[in-house]
Each structure stands twice: as C-alpha cells, then as structure tokens.
Amino acid sequence: MSNIKQVGLAVGLLVIGQSGFAANAQQLAGRCASCHGANGVSSNPANPNLAGQKAPYLLKQMREFQSGKRVDSVMGAMMKGLSEADMDTLAIYYSKMK
C-alpha cells in the first residue's frame, strides 16, 4: 500500500471515527463470513483464513479477483460492487484480527 494511500486511509478513519469504521467493516465482512468464518478463521480447510493476513496481501488478492486476473467464480462474484475503499476497509479489518 502506498504512503499516499495509507495517509488517505488514516485521514478517512479520523473523519468517520473508529466506531464508524468498525461498523462499516463488520457490515462489509458479512459477505465473507460464510466461507472465511465470522472472525476471519475458516472452519473449512479449502477456504483460507483472512484474520491476521497483511493488508497489502489481502488487497492484492481482492483486486485480482475483481479484475479477473485471478479466477474463481465465487470470489469474483463477491468482489463485484466493492469499491476500492471497501476493499481497503476489508483488508485493514482482517489484518487487525488475530
């Protein structure tokens, strides 16, 4: 993640506040929970854990699924309609989990 993007995200977090960020992140993460677990830890070994992954790694994977560079019918469908800010939020949210 570039320094400019990190600064932008930090400013955004200050503007909406931590509780607003958390609520938005939890809402967005609802689409991930059925496969990746409510706390980012999957009960199915076929689905990777998201909790604790580095944010840049998660963001890269989401972008590749969204663009079609990485192909998976379920993940491609899940990424449709997510904005760059939504993907940033999800990446940060899961990276902060243990």
The domain in which residue 60 lies consists of 3-95
Each residue's pLDDT tens digit, 58-97:
999 999 999 999 999 999 999 999 999 999 999 999 999 9
Mean pLDDT of 6-27: 65
Q: What is the pTM of this model?
A: 0.79
Each residue's pLDDT tens digit, 24-45:
889 999 999 999 999 999 999 9
Each residue's pLDDT tens digit, 55-67:
999 999 999 999 9
Residue pair 36/47 in contact by the 8 Å Cβ criterion = yes
Give pairs for 60-66: CB < 8 Å, separation 24+.
Answer: 62/87, 62/90, 62/91, 63/87
pLDDT given for residue 36 in this prediction: 97
Q: What is the CATH number of the domain that holds 15?
A: 1.10.760.10
Say yes or no to pLDDT of 15 above 50. no
Q: How many domains does the chain have?
A: 1
What DSSP line would sit under 28-87, residue for residue? HHHHHHHHH-TTS--SSTTS---TT--HHHHHHHHHHHHHTSS--HHHHHHHTT--HHHH
